[in-house]
Amino acid sequence: MHYLKYLPAVVLLAACGARQEAPPAPAVPEVAVTTLALEKLPLNSDLAGRVAAVRVSEVRPQVDGVIVQRYFDEGADVRAGQLLYRIDSASYAARQAQASAELALEKASLVNLRVIAERYARLLDSRTVTQQDHDLAQANFKQGQARVQAREAALRAAQIDLQRTEVRAAIAGRIGRAEATEGALVSRAQAEPLARVQQLDPVYVDVVQSSQQMVALRRALDKGSVKPGARGVTLTLEDGSAYPHAGELQFADMQVDPQTGMVMLRARFPNPQRLLMPGMYVRARVEHGVQPDVVMLPQQAVRLGEGDKATALLVNAKGEVEPRALVLAGSHQGRWAVLSGVRAGERVIVEGGMKAAPGARVNAVEWRDPARVGAAPAASSAARVDRGG
């Protein structure tokens, strides 16, 4: 029974060993969260389009004759009024000289008719001439005036034809290939132009959009759920590069294509480097309006599942993880636009979500977007959603 006196010490040592072998309490995981805020969301559409010249002038002859000289280089820039072709003018110069001589004859004849008419008007009071002779003299004078006016019109017509033997550019722009050379016989009635001049700065970009989208947007504008946008347009070129200059939406056509159900939109772009050429295919992003009070989430905060189901993890007021189902409207530049599922002021987990189980307590720290560090405050208040293809 001697061992009984050592029993309290054994029990004490066992208790100490039990306390030392107990596992430490698990550490609260740390997650990075972002606090949501309402933002203004421009509504954009990505649409296919073609470049078109703002002004196109077909250089055509307005008189008949043989081309004697060409004064431009193909593909060069020309000025408005610049001489492009010269047509043989010998016959037109002769017609002008003839019309000028006929006008001089009529003016000389008119002088004699005026003298007779004035003399008969004076003699009528003294009854030296009859009323019939007076009236005849006045009529001859008026006929002479009419003949002078007709000869003056013929002279102007001859002068115009002579001027038209010099074919000039109607607008400033870039001229294409020459369709006629020296020695070619041209006619004012011919179908083919001598050349084409196109104004390439600025240029138009014509895009098409579904009439259903247009109607939905106009209804949203009428309800006030969407505000009018800045009507800005940006371009992506055929090689995938971004066009450096922004454009402005000019108008939407009032007619729907019955075969495709599409409406044409026209935007105007500066083109100082002549990168845009008529007929070129481009992708245009058109800003139709602005949807106010939209919540934007970083893409890494959203989990996408089957059937386009989207979820996110939030940290509630108790510091616990809470899952939410989201309804997304689209994405742009690393962020999702959320229609429902979260509200402004809530905290969404951006990083560390893999170690945060729903219902678990976490230590939330504010997340800083590397792409937005140092950006102006106004830059974070604008985002865009891809509505098109």
Give the pLDDT score at 379: 35
More confident position, 306 or 366: 366
pLDDT at 3 over 60: no
* Backbone dihedral angles phi then psi of residue 106, each to the nearest 5 degrees: -65, -35
More confident position, 38 or 114: 114
Domain containing 155: what range?
90-163
Task: Report the percent of the chain where pLDDT is more than 90.
Answer: 35
Give the pLDDT score at 376: 40
Residues 232 and 333 in one domain: no
pTM comes to 0.61
pLDDT at 323 over 50: yes
Residues 218 and 258 in one domain: yes
Residue 120 belongs to a domain = yes
More confident position, 197 or 21: 197
Residue 129 belongs to a domain = yes
Q: Which of 268, 291, 314 is the last residue of a domain?
A: 291
Give the pLDDT score at 227: 67
Give the pLDDT score at 44: 72
Give the pLDDT score at 223: 64
Mean pLDDT of 339-363: 85
Give the pLDDT score at 375: 44
Residues 297 and 379 in one domain: yes
Residues 187 and 70 in one domain: yes
Q: What is the Rg, in whole angstroms, of the alpha carbon atoms belonging to the chain?
A: 43
More confident position, 355 or 272: 272
Residues 315 and 344 in one domain: yes
Residue 11 belongs to a domain = no
Mean pLDDT of 316-342: 81
Neighbours of 239 (CB within 10 A): 5
329 with 310: CB under 8 angstroms? no
CATH number of the domain that 143 lies in? 1.10.287
Give the pLDDT score at 105: 94
Give the pLDDT score at 363: 85
* DSSP-derived secondary structure for 176-229: ---S--TT-EE-TT-SS-SEEEEEEEEEEEEEEEEHHHHHHHHHHHHHTSSEE-
Give the pLDDT score at 226: 62
Give the pLDDT score at 24: 64
| Reported confidence tier of residue 327, pLDDT bands at 50, 70, 90 | confident
* pLDDT tens, residue by residue, 101-135: 999 999 999 999 999 888 888 888 777 788 888 88
Q: Which of 271, 291, 311 is the last residue of a domain?
A: 291
* pLDDT tens, residue by residue, 132-177: 888 898 999 999 999 999 999 999 999 999 999 999 999 999 999 9
Residues 145 and 255 in one domain: no
Residue 281 belongs to a domain = yes
* pLDDT tens, residue by residue, 232-280: 788 888 888 999 998 888 877 777 877 877 788 888 999 998 899 999 9
Give the pLDDT score at 196: 94
| Reported confidence tier of residue 221, pLDDT bands at 50, 70, 90 | low
Q: How many domains does the chain have?
A: 4
| Reported confidence tier of residue 229, pLDDT bands at 50, 70, 90 | low
Residue 219 belongs to a domain = yes
Residues 239 and 155 in one domain: no
Tell me the C-alpha to C-alpha distance, in Å, between residue 286 and each of 52, 54, 164, 209: 17, 19, 45, 10
| Reported confidence tier of residue 334, pLDDT bands at 50, 70, 90 | confident
More confident position, 64 or 287: 64
360 with 370: CB under 8 angstroms? no
Give the pLDDT score at 380: 35
Residues 37 and 118 in one domain: no
Pairing of strands 385-386, 363-366: unpaired
CATH number of the domain that 354 lies in? 2.40.420.20
pLDDT at 23 over 60: yes
Residues 69 and 185 in one domain: yes
Residues 297 and 380 in one domain: yes
Average model confidence (pLDDT) for the chain? Answer: 82
Q: Which of 291, 309, 326 is the last residue of a domain?
A: 291
Residue 157 belongs to a domain = yes
Residues 186 and 207 in one domain: no
CA distance 127 to 90: 55
CATH number of the domain that 283 lies in? 2.40.30.170
* pLDDT tens, residue by residue, 53-72: 999 999 999 999 999 999 99
Residue 10 belongs to a domain = no
Residues 73 and 188 in one domain: yes
